[in-house]
Structure 1
């Protein structure tokens, strides 16, 4: 399978600018998320449900970025832009499960904040270690199983073309190259989008609506504490929704470079924004990071 050339040719000096910028973004993503992961893992005071979920979100950013950037960086310095059929499906599976994991993790994080703010007396009895572990297992395995079955179906489709107008392998791009009728698969993909993305996002909106109603009836001190813990989640959720919307832009030969960047937004912005939002806004994580920097 081949990708179209969206960037300057190898003889153009701008190519090295694009490569350097992309490499800088990748290194920033790796470094920022690793800082959060190591802070949560090494500091015992952060071994609480909220921080464990944040750590999982950062691990997911590392997973998605590693599934995209290495091949993308090689493509920037390559004369040709080909990818084998197996590698295309591996990249497609990683980027899609990364996006789905982001949704499921945001869902369990919203539930955690809902219980902490709306049912504070029952928080420790509900959010036990076993419950947190089960929620994480469900958040990870649900997309893996559902999308695994879907990709197994499309992997057997006969293809009549090999050119995709995407910088990365996307499932709908492969389906469009199929030689056979794909109505059933398109219906199935819509159904999967509803159960893996739409329903969790509706649940997140519902929990934060309940949280806002509780905060409205509470004291200003309570509202301040609730906002301090919920604001990073709200920013992350809003950023992801924007990323998801931008990723739906269809790229063809007539589109501009801006559209290409928008289609990559869900792979670029959330992995950078998430660790910055949590690292700067949550005093517990910020304190651990600053104390570690001072020691060294």
Structure 2
């Protein structure tokens, strides 16, 4: 028998799960997402990707600013849900909300818990040079991603894979895994396993002050930094007073003073080894290949980037 669900999510990453739950015939009593925010040059109010999809599906949408007040909690309980599905919602769920659905609140988390609990698991996994990532379905508790695990699926991280590419691979994986978990929940066969105490790491939110490229680091760390911040917020350097984001890189050849061009094709020396810049983006411009960038900007051998 299909479940009566509350769906809670905000960004693009959550949309495949919402679509899959609707396609599987679950009754989605309510969709909770963040309130619209002004964006763009005109600062027009922009709804979230989840709200846009929910409206397309004809589902009721709720955008409370907080769930900590009694009025919001009573409204949540009134949906009389069997379970809540949470995917990158963005608001803290207090105990009264966690306890409201009959079978609990279940979260799609984009890491192999307990590694990378927290806000930016995809970015941090790539920045750390992890060989694999994945999705964990957990039953939520009051801790920060500390709930008991229901299912895990793994995905290798390629040597040049960016955070954006990993994001796009994990989103449908999470949707599929959640539908499988809910199927087991319907049948009464879902098994929950406490997270191990060993191997806990935290994926802190990306700070602006860590986005600038530090060429003195070893090439592998520079490369992981670049791909872990691509496409957003983007790792960057300055050249001739202009900020340039690097969206894609790979291992380069040669050695030299950190930040120095080793050829005329954007091989840049690091503290150990070199990276080759493959795709870049000038401030205010569209992303472009290194070849296209070099057609308009001369970066000769020996040029120093800052």
TM bucket (normalised to shorter chain) is under 0.3
Q: TM-score, normalised by structure 1?
A: 0.25
Q: Which has the higher contact order (CA 8 A, sep 6+)?
A: 1
Q: Name which one, 1 or 2, has greater alpha-carbon Rg.
A: 2
Structure with the higher fraction of residues in strand conformation: 2
